[in-house]
Structure 1
Amino acid sequence: MLTATVLAGLSAMTCSQAARADDYTDLLDILRAKGSLTKGEYGTLLTKHLHHSHPSLDRDDDGPARSARGARGTSESGTGTRYAADMRHARTHDASPDVTPVFVDARDAANNAAASARSAHDSMLAAQQAVHDPGLVHVAKYVPGKGLTFQAGEIAINLSGFVNGFYTYNSPSTGQTVAGGVSTGAGGNKFDASAVRNGLLPAGLITKITTTQEGIDLAAVFGMYPGIDNATNGAFNANTGGSPVGLGTAGLDFRQIYITAGNKKWGTFKVGRDIALFGSDAILFDATLLSVGSTGSNAAPGNTSLGRIGVGYVYADWIPQISYASPVWHGLQGSVGIFQPLDEFNFAGDGSSATSTYHSSPMVQGKFSYDFTAGDLKGRIWAGFLAQHQQRLTSSILAQSTGRGATVEAGEIGTKLSYKGFEGVAYYYRGSGLGTTGLFFDGIAADGRKRDSEGFYVQGAYSVTKRLRLVGSYGVSNLYQGPMELDPDLVKRNESEVGALFYKITDWLQLVGEYAHTESSAHNGNKAKDNSASGGAVLFF
């Protein structure tokens, strides 16, 4: 009696579960028909329901579960038939044909995606660590004209440089004595000369090492500037006139050795040897920097030609210094420094000028610049100054024991403007005791009194195409006699006209053709003139 009761209860439970299963399926059908469920939602819910309602029948008709049902006999045949019908019903209504629940597949896909993301993240971290690994060196993307940069951890090593060579034919048309003149005819020379030589620039190889430590940008720079012609010893070292004799060797001008420390917020300090402030923009914007200009000595060329040095500006020079450059504020920047004082030099010779080799105080230089852009117009305006006290002046008529001294003062102003393919430069300087051509060359008369000097140059350029550029310039440097001075052979005026074309072959290489006329005149009316034609190539990397 008890056994019969239990069997009846189990049968009722089974029927109740089947009914609930049928009701649930019907409910899903109704919701699907009303549009409350999407196809994907309907299939997912139905498959999940069937899976939980018949856990022993969750295999395909050909799977192990079906075999088990066959082994257990027909007591489950009704349930199995209903399950199979429901599965077919689910398939008919776009449910997944795989009885594995869709949410399980989604979960597995999500887990796989998360694993892939973790793997990609780990790879990225490994790559970043490799980039900053001090033991790994890689090359930064090359930018034309910016050199090659090798990155070793936090340290960057930049190598840049240039090489040039020109054939120059120089012909003095007038040759009279002009003491301190820059024309090749200034010494009375009237002989033509051919040379294969450097232009205003020698060759150059510059190494710059930079890093940032504790918020301070640090750099060390080494600049080597060799010439291609034989060198000879002289007052100007590698820049002295050359020696075209067999078995000679080229000269090396080690112009740059300095460090910098600072940042964009506080400015930058420089300690070492580099180009000075006064006159630096004048020479860097001079088109003859990439050509020859006034040749200087062409029969025996040294490391460089003169370009426009002494015929428009006084050479800035490369001078030991401790200087400071402020941060750039709306295009405005100021620089100031103390520099190794330079000797007063008698460039004209024959006792024309006083000399000095004693210096108890440094040279001081400063410069202000303003860079701006207004539409297609870009420009720079700058102004600079220089001051140095020359002590214990001596000359053919002035004894050192007299203790005569003089304070040299000079100022400059200039601008560079560019508009589309046009570019113009205008520059002017004036000094008292400054001299001409080089700093403190013939700046003080033999009696110890300062000579005034001034000069200017104007330059225009036009880019005909992206490759072809035409340039023309004119410049003058004047040296006036001191009070009550009478030195008839002393140079009064150096001037030159230059026309050049530059043709860019590649990002590195350009060809140059140039004509230059240089003229020097003395206070007594003596004149010296020369003409030169040059052609060559310049390579920058």
Structure 2
Amino acid sequence: MASKKAALLVTFITASVSGLPMVSPTAWADDYSDLLDVLRAKGSLTQHEYDTLLAKHLHHGAAATPDSGATRHAGRPVHVASASHGAQYGTVADGHGVSSGYEPGIRFDPGSSEIDATSRAENAASRAQLSAQQAQAALASLNTSDIVRVDKYVAGKGITFKAGPININLSGFINGFYTYNSPAGGRPVAGGVSSGSSGFDSSAVRNGLLPAGFILKMSTRQQGIDISAVMGMYPGINNAKNGAFNANTGGSPVGLGTAGIDFRQVYVTFGNSDIGTFKVGRDLAFFGGDAILNDATLLSVGATGSNSAPGNTSLGRIGVGYVYADWIPQISYTSPKIAGVQGAVGIFQPLDEFNYADATNSVVSHYSATSTQHSSPMVQGKVTYDATFGKVQARIWASFLIQHQQALQGAEINAAMRRGAMVEAGDIGAKLTYGPFEGVAYYYRGSGLGTTALFFDGVAANGRKRASEGYYVQAAYHATKRLKLVGSYGVSNLYQAPGEASTMLVRRNQSIIGAAYYQLTDWLNLVGEYANTSSAAHGPNTQSDNTASCGVILLF
């Protein structure tokens, strides 16, 4: 401890003689030289350090007082030139063999006692502690409600601002593709999704299965409850056209058109990890939800639907592997996750039975029944299981849907019959990931469910339910960190109802899709894709088409 204090003292003394102005006209060299001798004897200074400090001291020593004309250095005289003589330096000759001069008016401070040095060290430590406390106080002041902070950015997760107790997250995506569709011929199929019978090639600059999206999420915690509000706006890049499907109706490529805006997400959630989460508002439904979220064509085009007059979105694999889940007003509950298992159930806005086959067929006829009366809500539920088996990550899900369709109307239904139908459907799917490989398998089956979208052609014109089923399989390989190759195949089947003989009604829609996705940056992805889509009727009619697409999708 003594050697450390001595070293501190030497440091302070050296700093003093190096550049600090002194006030006394008299220099006392004895104390400093003796101190150096003691430190060298104790081993605190090497010989080189000792020689350097002594030479520095002798060069910058103090001048003698005007009346004495000399000082004593280690008992030896030191002669200094008087300032009154106009000389700049004096001469030193002593037993150390060092000869130097002194600047008039500069003196050497022999330093203070070891107690003073210790006091200065303690003061320095106190000042350091005070500075640390001030830094902590400044950091704490940033957590006040008056400061807006930004979380560390994670690509694809949006930007999160923290304004006091509120988190504000902004995220979204934009995409655009050049799509060339070439019909391979055939005859019209009522309810088919292929454009093969159109007879004309078409080019389009359009959205893919996703439109653009801008999502605002605000969340906070109040009285132990996690609360959030979400609003998602999904505009397209093509001209909108009024129709049954609103912003998702086929577009209108005519001058002076404007794009459509699909405000499909508006909901609130509240709950916590102990009691689960409640949701009220409009959001993606449970049945078929995981099917579309795991579909690779979500980031590309897939089946085009109408390419000559593109709307907000393409079809992707909708109607060729699964029925579109849709964004439906709901009051739902999702349980906490226990051992990888999580359940959800809710009541949803009931949807009408829709005669889609007539809308897609050039020959007007009454293929399917319709309904607009709903005294009870639609009910949906889902269970998921997430687990890891060695190096394999797995997600398995299953969901169901029930809705009572009332007061069905059709060409073969007597209004006095007051006919209704209970629609039932279920699905199951799995996604497995092993290193660079991913695989998805999905299957659904319904009674009165229909095909392509919920309740499209689900009930025949005679009021009887049609059975339907479908599946898709998908494989992906990450060839490099940025390049992903995907191939998929999917089918949707619609069977005739008892007593029905609709030869032009669609029996099967199917597609084969291959795509490459290259992540150019954290935001920007390049996409190239090929798709073959075909439709077949219960009679002899079939049609098919081929589509090539390339474009970009940006996610932030």
**TM over 0.5, yes or no?**
yes
Q: Deviations over 1:97-126 (max 9, x none)?
A: 978443443344234313321331232122
Correspondence for 2:401: 386
Correspondence for 1:167: 178
- In 2, Cα distance between equivalents of 1:425 and 1:145: 22
Shift of 1:39: 5.5
Which residue of 119, 122, 129 maps to 1:117?
A: 129
> In structure 1, what residue type is equivalent to 2:390?
G
Which residue of 404, 428, 431 maps to 1:413?
A: 428
Shift of 1:295: 0.4
Which residue of 320, 327, 331 maps to 2:336?
A: 327
Residues 1:95 and 1:237: Cα distance change in structure 2 (over 3 Å): same
Correspondence for 1:17: none
> In structure 2, what residue type is equivalent to 1:152?
A
Correspondence for 1:523: 538
- In 1, Cα distance between equivalents of 2:302 and 2:35: 95
Q: Secondary structure at the match of 1:417?
A: strand
Which residue of 411, 417, 423 maps to 1:402?
A: 417
- In 2, Cα distance between equivalents of 1:91 and 1:169: 89
| Mapped contact 1:43–1:94 kept (Cα < 8 A) | no
Q: Deviations over 1:192-223 (max 9, x none)?
A: 11111111000111111111112211111110
> In structure 2, what residue type is equivalent to 1:242?
G
Alignment of 1:136 onto 2:133:
no
Alignment of 1:488 onto 2:503:
yes
| Mapped contact 1:353–1:446 kept (Cα < 8 A) | yes
| Mapped contact 1:392–1:401 kept (Cα < 8 A) | no
Correspondence for 2:106: none
Correspondence for 1:432: 447
Shift of 1:266: 1.7
Shift of 1:93: 6.3
Residues 1:348 and 1:88: Cα distance change in structure 2 (over 3 Å): closer
Shift of 1:63: 11
Correspondence for 1:508: 523
The aligned runs of 1:463-474 (5 Å cut-off) are 463-474=478-489
Correspondence for 2:232: 223
The aligned runs of 1:54-453 (5 Å cut-off) are 94=42, 100-130=112-142, 132-185=143-196, 188-349=197-358, 350-453=365-468
- In 1, Cα distance between equivalents of 2:297 and 2:242: 26
Once the two structures are overlaid, the 10-residue window that deviates more, 163-172 or 307-316, is: 163-172
TM-score, reference length from structure 1: 0.82
The aligned runs of 1:446-461 (5 Å cut-off) are 446-461=461-476
| Mapped contact 1:427–1:457 kept (Cα < 8 A) | yes
Q: Deviations over 1:3-33 (max 9, x none)?
A: xxxxxxxxxxxxxxxxxxxxxxxxxxxxxxx
Shift of 1:288: 0.6
| Mapped contact 2:492–2:510 kept (Cα < 8 A) | yes
> In structure 2, what residue type is equivalent to 1:438?
A
Residues 1:41 and 1:453: Cα distance change in structure 2 (over 3 Å): closer
> In structure 1, what residue type is equivalent to 2:132?
A
Q: Deviations over 1:243-273 (max 9, x none)?
A: 0000000000001001111122221111110
Query: Which structure features the higher share of helix residues?
Result: 1
Correspondence for 2:57: none
| Mapped contact 1:43–1:95 kept (Cα < 8 A) | no
Q: Deviations over 1:336-376 (max 9, x none)?
A: 11111100111111211111111111111111111112333
Residues 1:357 and 1:113: Cα distance change in structure 2 (over 3 Å): same
Correspondence for 1:59: none
Once the two structures are overlaid, the 10-residue window that deviates more, 370-379 or 407-416, is: 370-379
Q: Secondary structure at the match of 2:210?
A: coil
| Mapped contact 2:442–2:473 kept (Cα < 8 A) | yes
Correspondence for 1:80: none
- In 2, Cα distance between equivalents of 1:270 and 1:152: 24
- In 2, Cα distance between equivalents of 1:533 and 1:540: 22
> In structure 1, what residue type is equivalent to 2:485?
L
Q: Secondary structure at the match of 2:136?
A: helix
Once the two structures are overlaid, the 10-residue window that deviates more, 101-110 or 495-504, is: 101-110
- In 1, Cα distance between equivalents of 2:310 and 2:252: 8
- In 1, Cα distance between equivalents of 2:6 and 2:526: 76
- In 2, Cα distance between equivalents of 1:537 and 1:89: 78
Residues 1:459 and 1:118: Cα distance change in structure 2 (over 3 Å): same
Structure 2 unmatched runs, 5+: 8-23, 45-108, 359-364
Residues 1:283 and 1:106: Cα distance change in structure 2 (over 3 Å): same
Two-structure CA RMSD over aligned residues (Å): 2.6
After TM superposition, the runs of 4+ consecutive aligned structure 1 residues lying more than 6 A away are 41-44, 86-93, 95-99
- In 1, Cα distance between equivalents of 2:5 and 2:262: 85
- In 2, Cα distance between equivalents of 1:225 and 1:42: 71
Residues 1:92 and 1:136: Cα distance change in structure 2 (over 3 Å): closer
Shift of 1:129: 1.9
Once the two structures are overlaid, the 10-residue window that deviates more, 416-425 or 370-379, is: 370-379
- In 1, Cα distance between equivalents of 2:213 and 2:272: 27
| Mapped contact 2:412–2:463 kept (Cα < 8 A) | no
- In 2, Cα distance between equivalents of 1:394 and 1:263: 45
- In 1, Cα distance between equivalents of 2:423 and 2:436: 40
Correspondence for 1:5: none
Shift of 1:438: 0.3
| Mapped contact 2:159–2:171 kept (Cα < 8 A) | yes
- In 1, Cα distance between equivalents of 2:374 and 2:394: 38
| Mapped contact 1:43–1:90 kept (Cα < 8 A) | no
TM-score, reference length from structure 2: 0.80
- In 2, Cα distance between equivalents of 1:348 and 1:88: 105
Correspondence for 2:72: none
Shift of 1:177: 2.1
Shift of 1:184: 1.1
